[in-house]
Amino acid sequence: MSNSQRDAVYTIILALFIFTFSITVTIFASYAIFRFDIPHYFLDQEANMSGQKLMHNYNQMMNYLLNPFSGQFHLDDFRSSYNGRVHFADCKKLFMLNFSVFILSGVYVWFRRKKRAYFNRTFLYIAIVGIILVVLMAIDFDDFFIVFHKILFRNNDWLFDPALDPIINVLPDEFFVQCFVLFFILFEGLNLYKFFSKK
C-alpha cells in the first residue's frame, strides 16, 4: 500500500471517528437535555407523573440501549407494544454499531496520528454536506426526521402509536431537535477544525 493509499485510509477512519464521536457525545448529553425538557415542555404533566419518576424511566430506556448485556426492553411506568420493543431493539443495534466503530476508529487514529498525514479538504466537503443537512432540517424537521428513519430502519416500527407506546408522548420533537442540533454543532465544528488544522 502506497503512502497516498495509507493517507486515504487514515482520512476515512478519522472521518468515521469524528462522526461516531459526535453521535456518542450527543447520546450521553441526551440525559441532560431530557432533564432540561421535563419542566420546560411540561413532560411530567403530559405523563401525569413526577419529573423524578419520568427521569427514572428515561434512564431505564437508555440503560437498555447502552448496555449490551441488557436483555428485554422494559419501563416501569410505560407499557410497550411488540412493535415498540422491536424498534428499541433496532436502535440498540445501531448504538452498538456506533460504539464499536467509535472505539476501533479511535484506537487506529490514536496510534497513527503522528505517522500519517490526511487530506484536509475532505473534511471541508464533509462539513458542506453537513450544512446542507442542517438547512434541510431547519426548513422542515418533520420530513427530515421521516427520511432519517426511513434510511436507518427497514420497517415502520418507529411510527409509534401513543396509545400502545405512550413513551413517545414524553419524547417531543423539541427533544430530538435539540439532540440533532448538538450533533451538528460537534460534527461541523470538528470537521472544520480538521480542515483548518495543520496537525
- CB of 98 closer than 8 Å to CB of 183: no
- CB of 94 closer than 8 Å to CB of 70: no
Q: List the alpha helices (DSSP H) in 113-172.
A: 120-139, 141-152
In tens, the pLDDT along 70-86 reads 889 999 999 999 999 99
pLDDT band (50, 70, 90) for residue 93: very high
36 pLDDT exceeds 60?
yes
Closest to 94 (Cα-Cα) out of 20, 173, 14, 7: 20
pTM summary value: 0.94
The DSSP call for residue 171 is S
Three-class DSSP category at 165:
coil
Spatial distance between the Cα atoms of 173 and 163, rounded to a whole number of angstroms: 18
In whole angstroms, how far apart are CA 193 and each of 4, 81, 162?
A: 22, 44, 42
Spatial distance between the Cα atoms of 105 and 9, rounded to a whole number of angstroms: 11
Average pLDDT over the chain, rounded to whole? 93
In tens, the pLDDT along 139-192 reads 999 999 999 999 999 899 899 999 999 999 999 999 999 999 999 999 999 999
Q: Which residue has the higher pLDDT, 181 or 116?
A: 181
- CB of 172 closer than 8 Å to CB of 37: yes
Amino acid making up residue 81: S
Amino acid making up residue 110: W
